[in-house]
Homo-oligomer: A and B are copies of this chain.
Amino acid sequence: MKDDFVPDVVISRLPLYLQELNHLAKEGLHTVSSKVMAARLGTTAAQIRKDLSYFGGFGKQGSGYQIYDLIEQLQKILNMDHVWQVVVVGAGDLGRALTHYQGFASQGIEIVALFDVDPKLVGTQVGSIAVRHVDEMEDELKNLGIKIAILTVPGGVAQEVAEKLVKFGVRAILNYAPVSLMLPEEVHVQHIDPVPHIQKMMYYL
C-alpha cells in the first residue's frame, strides 16, 4: 500500500480529502466524483485523481468514488487504525484551547497530558486533564510511548523544550511557537502560524 516515493505535498493533501469525505458522508452521500470533490476543495479533479493514484486505483471511471471505502483506505494510509496519544506542552490560552479542542476525538487523536512550568498553572484542570509540571514529562512520555506532541510554549524556550521531547521519544511535533525548530531529520515538524495565512490574504485585498 505504501510507496516511499509519494511526494510530501501529496501526503499533505490526504487529510484534507479525508475531511471532505467525512463531510460528504455526514450529508448522507455514498459516492462522489473527483469533479465534485475538487469543486468543494478548490482544486482540480485531475489533481485528486493523480494524488490518489499513488496508492492504487480507487473509484471507477464514470461512477466516482465509494465514499465509505475511500475513507477507510485513507485512514489506513494515514495510520489511523489506532488512537494516537498526544501531549500538549504549554498550558497558556492556546495550550488549553487545544487540550479541549472538540475536533480531535473523532479523528483518532487523544490528548493525554498537558505540561507547563508555571506554578500558577500546574495542578489546575483543563476539562478532565490536570496540568502537570514538565519535570514529570520524561516518565509520562516514556511510559506511554508518546510519539506526537503539540508545542505551545513561548518562542524563547521552544527549541529547548522540543529537544527534550525528542530525547524522551517524540517523533512528531506540531509547533505553535513563533520560531523554526532545528531538530534531527527523523523528527517531523509541522509549524502552525497565523501570520503567513493573514499575509496571503492581504495580497488579494
- Among A30-38, A76-84, A134-142, A157-165, the stretch that binds chain B is A76-84
Which residues from B are CB-within-8-Å of A150?
A: 194, 198
The residues of A with any CB-CB pair to B shorter than 8 Å are: 11-12, 14-16, 18-20, 23, 40, 77-80, 84, 86, 92-94, 96-98, 100-104, 107, 109, 147-148, 150, 155, 171-172, 174, 178, 180, 188, 190, 192-205
Q: Are B195 and A14 in contact (CB under 8 A)?
A: no
Q: State the number of copies, please.
A: 2
Residue ID in chain B nearest A2 by CB atoms: B203
Q: Are B205 and A172 in contact (CB under 8 A)?
A: yes
CB-contact partner of A94 in B80, B94, B180, B201, under 8 A: B94
Which residues from B are CB-within-8-Å of A180?
A: 20, 23, 40
Q: Are A93 and B97 in contact (CB under 8 A)?
A: yes
A114 to chain B, nearest CB (A): 12
Residue ID in chain B nearest A173 by CB atoms: B201
Given A79-B202, A199-B18, A200-B11, A97 and B103 contact (CB-CB distance below 8 Å): no
Q: Are B107 and A77 in contact (CB under 8 A)?
A: no
Which residues from B are CB-within-8-Å of A199?
A: 14-15, 18, 78, 80, 107
CB-contact partner of A198 in B14, B20, B97, B174, under 8 A: B174
Q: Are A200 and B12 in contact (CB under 8 A)?
A: yes
Residue ID in chain B nearest A186 by CB atoms: B204
The CA-CA distance from A98 to B93 in the complex, in Å, is: 9
Q: Are A198 and B79 in contact (CB under 8 A)?
A: no
A160 to chain B, nearest CB (A): 18
Residue ID in chain B nearest A96 by CB atoms: B93
Q: Are A172 and B15 in contact (CB under 8 A)?
A: no
